[in-house]
Amino acid sequence: MAEPDLADPVTRRWPVFSPPALQAGARAVFGFPLRVGTVRLGALNLYRDRPGPLSGDQHADALVVAEVAARWVLEAQAGAPSDTVAEELEAGADFHFAVHNAAGMVSVQEQISVTEALICLRAFAFSHDRPLAEVAGDVVARRLRLT
């Protein structure tokens, strides 16, 4: 994923994300998957304060950093019990199991995929300027129902 000019994109993909990102000083965003083989672990998102595409060297460097980060995630998790997330990954990550529980609930309630439900949760949290974990907690506690 790449958007070399958030202020003047060729395709408007992020109408809710772009204005606050621009206000925060981001002018371009580039995403690289964190994966090992076919296992996808997440994404490395890079931002910069001026528009324009990455050079070939910058793109290659970002791929290397994403690979190193993916391997670190696997190594960190390898030492954790199978039913938990490694402390190194959880610290500062705002990771909450409630988000996944809420996604499952929204999926069943709205008869959509879990992926779509997670997108709905994130969109709701972002558009209401609330932390995702807080919105998920409200869904799980049945104080909030997304429709």
Dist CA 38 CA 95 (whole Å): 23
Q: Which residues contact 118 (CB under 8 A, 6 or more apart)?
A: 99, 103
Q: What is the pLDDT of residue 114?
A: 85
According to DSSP, the β-strands at 2-3 and 28-36 are: antiparallel
Helix (H, G, I), strand (E, B) or coil at 38: coil
Q: What is the pLDDT of residue 13?
A: 87
| Among 36, 103, 106, residue whose Cα is nearest residue 74 | 36
Q: What is the pLDDT of residue 67?
A: 92
The fold adopted by the segment(s) 2-80 is Beta-Lactamase (3.30.450)
Q: What is the pLDDT of residue 82?
A: 75
Q: Domain-by-domain residue ranges, the chain? A: 2-80, 97-140
For domain 97-140, the CATH class is mainly alpha
Q: What is the pLDDT of residue 92?
A: 58
Which run of H or of E encompasses 111? none
Q: What is the pLDDT of residue 17?
A: 87
CATH topology match: 2-80 vs 97-140: no
Q: What is the pLDDT of residue 91?
A: 64
pTM: 0.61
Dist CA 15 CA 134 (whole Å): 23
According to DSSP, the β-strands at 39-48 and 2-3 are: unpaired
pLDDT tens-digit profile, the chain (147 residues): 899 999 999 888 888 889 999 999 999 999 999 988 888 888 999 999 999 999 999 999 999 999 999 998 888 888 788 777 777 776 655 556 788 889 999 999 999 988 888 899 999 999 999 998 899 999 999 999 998
CA 20 to the chain's CA centroid: 16
Residue 6 · residue 28 · CB < 8 Å = yes
Could you list the beta-strand ranges (E) of 2-114: 2-3, 28-36, 39-48
Q: What is the pLDDT of residue 2?
A: 92
